[in-house]
Structure 1
Amino acid sequence: MKFKMQEKQNQLIERISDQHLIVGVDIAQQVHVARAVNYRGIVVGDPITFENNEEGFTRLLNWINELKATKRLNTEIVGMEPTGHYWLSLSKWLYNQYVDVVTVNPHLVKRNKENRDNTQSKSDKKDALVIADMVKNGYYSYIRPTSEAFEELRVLNANRDVIVKRLVSTENQIHLWVDIVFPELRQVFKDVTCKGAIATLRLFPTPLELQSLEVQYIVDSWKSLMKRQPGLKKAKLLIQLAKNSIGTTLAIDAYKLHLEVLLDELDLATAQLERVEKDIKAALNKISYTDHLLGIKGLTEITLGGILGETGELSNFAHGNSLLRHAGLHLVEASSGKWKGQIVLSKRGRSRLRRFLFLATMSLVANNPEFKELHYYNVHIKKMKKMKSIMKLIGKLARIIVGIARRNEAYCPEKVQSLPPLAA
């Protein structure tokens, strides 16, 4: 099945009939503004402001019903910008009231501000009218309601990103601390965040403490924290390096306190990361076709959880290409006359989804025989650049996972496009 964006755009325009009341809502933190037009773009009624609570939402719905009755219209569609998180409560409330809710691209709203009055002026009332015009012209996207499992994945992955950021920041600060206080530690442990190095920093963090210790005491201390600990050779080297350390000897108590705080933060972030990843795997088990998707060798549970958390129900996508548009991975070109611009990725989509699709494809190229063969063919036979091959394979992955979700069938390696014998 071919996916053509033009056909989708035509469908969005055709969906707006002469019986529609089209409402645009300018979203804010506390007070929203709504304007309404008919299918020809003629303004209907006066603007309304309403608060971000149930009383305000009810007032908006009553206003919509009054305008429908006055103009003898029988249906409505409400468009809004997905501004931060402020739009979520209103969109979910309207959806529960069986009102069609759509979103418009904030970038396009900014570009369409001069369509109405040919001025650069900006106000909440004007923005609401611009949004209504855009919905009338078909420049909107459906809101895909998701089940609890997909909502869990989205929240858990957002939380995981925050924890990973804290964990990386803490590890970087530990590297900095070691470089200042005990730079010779890197000669014993290549990675100062490995178990042996962290155990050493917990037990005897500064060179001054190590200088007076016995080799066997250090090994016994390691045994109290680790099942498999470094041996006598490393303990002896540690003491020798500590005696000739060039690390700072000033404000040692302050540095030790700083290290304690960093190690506590490292323990906390590590424990939280394990818990979140465990919950992600549990949420994946609630989705019927998860086992089929994990049947793709090289696709991990965490990566799949990140993809599904951003896409929602995969079977709602008509084609893999629509998933690429959702991620902002579709191609765009700027050309005029004889001038041909460079074709680039739009990046108008979900950045987290782009990241997980890229990571998933890199893992497949390394571990999946079919994708490994395709990448080899692209690079060595078709002479593509490696990154261009990866981006092409992202499109194949998108089509495969959407097809599996829509048909609820297992991954079949034989269905992956076969290559000429030269690829072997």
Structure 2
Amino acid sequence: MVERGRIENRIHRWLDIRFPEYGQAFEDIFSARSLATLRRFSTPSDLLQLTPERMIEIWEEYMSRPGGLRGKRKAIELLELARHSVGDTFALEEDKWELTHLVDEYERIQRIVEEADEMMKKMLPEIPGSELVLSVGVSAPATAAILAFGGDLSKLSHGNQLLRNAGLNLAEKSSGKYKGKIKLTKRGNSLLRKHLYFTVFRLLPHNSAFQALHTHNIEVKRMTKMQSIMKLIGKLARMLVAMARQGEEFSLAKVQLTLAA
């Protein structure tokens, strides 16, 4: 994952220099259509040698459904951006070679990640409690990380124990006569901490109960977004431990009744 992030950053930097307008056409520059574009006609000068119809023909080599109204609009949009691009054109051929290798490396790492995710999905049913965590909407990799680094959740007496394992409990940082601020200890597993944070971050667009509490925290309790997310991490930890101890899967109706408590 770290290596994939490094490659993604290098591709973003390449586009910032050579074709800074590219992101206006592709919100996700690592989508299938975008990767095909980066591989075959990544620069404004390449694009200006093609027609929308020819772009769709090239995309067809990498996608099952490249054309249609959406494909035609995307091709026309790319051409318009290319005509007004302010990208650097110095040593362009050498940099295009570099981008091709970056895309190759990204796709290689992505295949490995996808294979690992598939393997994880097959193995997760064998791990006690995994179906309960998955029922909340937690991803397979995050579920595996929470159970691997958090241990058997059914043996924890309270969600705060899971937070302590992640270093997400609060403590006063003091020394001698110095009275410091109360902050997160971070004296726990950093990967568990990371996955709990990103799990809440990814649940917010899809879980109506968490959305409602997040809105309440911000609009009624006047918390910042980050303060609300940290509070939701605590709520998630307590909920996961309670579900594991009771052997019950996630129930949206039940949670909506208790989230404000």
TM-score bin (small chain) = 0.7 to 0.9
Counterpart-to-counterpart distance in 2, 1:206 and 1:418: 51
Q: 1:257 aligns to what SS in structure 2?
A: helix
Looking at secondary structure, tell me which structure has more strand per residue: 1
- Asked if 1:177 is matched to 2:14, the reply is yes
Aligned-pair distance for 1:215?
4.2
Q: Which one of the candidate residues 224, 227, 245 is aligned to 1:388?
A: 227
Q: Which one of the candidate residues 133, 143, 146 is aligned to 1:304?
A: 143
Indicate the residue corresponding to 2:254 in structure 1. Answer: 414
Indicate the residue corresponding to 2:120 in structure 1. Answer: 280
Q: Which amino acid aligns with 1:417?
A: T
Indicate the residue corresponding to 1:259 in structure 2. Answer: 99
TM-score (norm: length of structure 1): 0.52
| Partner deviation per Cα, 1:137-179 (whole Å, 9 max, x = no partner) | xxxxxxxxxxxxxxxxxxxxxxxxxxx2222222222222233
Mark the CA change 1:192 to 1:366 in structure 2 (over 3 Å): closer, same or farther: closer
Q: Contact conserved, 1:174 with 1:262, CA < 8 A, in 2?
A: yes
Mark the CA change 1:388 to 1:201 in structure 2 (over 3 Å): closer, same or farther: closer
- Asked if 1:193 is matched to 2:30, the reply is yes
Aligned-pair distance for 1:234?
4.5
Counterpart-to-counterpart distance in 1, 2:8 and 2:162: 35
Q: 2:104 aligns to what SS in structure 1?
A: helix
Counterpart-to-counterpart distance in 2, 1:244 and 1:396: 49
Q: Contact conserved, 1:281 with 1:305, CA < 8 A, in 2?
A: no
Q: Which amino acid aligns with 1:322?
A: Q
Q: Contact conserved, 2:32 with 2:62, CA < 8 A, in 1?
A: no
Counterpart-to-counterpart distance in 2, 1:370 and 1:234: 37
| Partner deviation per Cα, 1:216-245 (whole Å, 9 max, x = no partner) | 323322222223325445445545665665
- Unpaired runs of 5+ residues, structure 2, are none
Mark the CA change 1:417 to 1:239 in structure 2 (over 3 Å): closer, same or farther: closer
Q: Which amino acid aligns with 1:198?
A: L
Q: 1:256 aligns to what SS in structure 2?
A: helix
Mark the CA change 1:246 to 1:345 in structure 2 (over 3 Å): closer, same or farther: closer
Aligned-pair distance for 1:347?
0.9
Indicate the residue corresponding to 1:371 in structure 2. Answer: 210
Q: Which one of the candidate residues 230, 233, 240 is aligned to 1:401?
A: 240
Mark the CA change 1:184 to 1:407 in structure 2 (over 3 Å): closer, same or farther: closer
Where do residues 18-417 of structure 1 align in structure 2 (5 Å cutoff)? 164-186=1-23, 188-229=25-66, 231-236=71-76, 238-239=78-79, 242=82, 246-296=86-136, 298-334=137-173, 341-412=180-251, 413-414=253-254, 417=258
Mark the CA change 1:399 to 1:210 in structure 2 (over 3 Å): closer, same or farther: closer
| Partner deviation per Cα, 1:158-201 (whole Å, 9 max, x = no partner) | xxxxxx22222222222222333344544544554333332122
Counterpart-to-counterpart distance in 1, 2:219 and 2:17: 47
Counterpart-to-counterpart distance in 2, 1:238 and 1:417: 50
Q: 2:188 aligns to what SS in structure 1?
A: coil
Mark the CA change 1:320 to 1:279 in structure 2 (over 3 Å): closer, same or farther: same
Counterpart-to-counterpart distance in 1, 2:52 and 2:207: 47
Q: Contact conserved, 2:130 with 2:147, CA < 8 A, in 1?
A: no
Q: Percent same amino acid among aligned pairs?
A: 40
- Unpaired runs of 5+ residues, structure 1, are 1-163
Q: Which amino acid aligns with 1:254?
A: E
Aligned-pair distance for 1:274?
0.8
Supply the RMSD in Å over aligned alpha carbons: 3.3
Counterpart-to-counterpart distance in 2, 1:336 and 1:289: 41
Looking at secondary structure, tell me which structure has more helix per residue: 2
Q: Contact conserved, 1:294 with 1:300, CA < 8 A, in 2?
A: yes
Aligned-pair distance for 1:369?
3.7
Larger relative contact order, structure 1 or 2 (CA cutoff 8 Å, min sep 6): 2
Q: Which amino acid aligns with 1:301?
A: A
Give the paired residue count: 256
Mark the CA change 1:293 to 1:249 in structure 2 (over 3 Å): closer, same or farther: closer
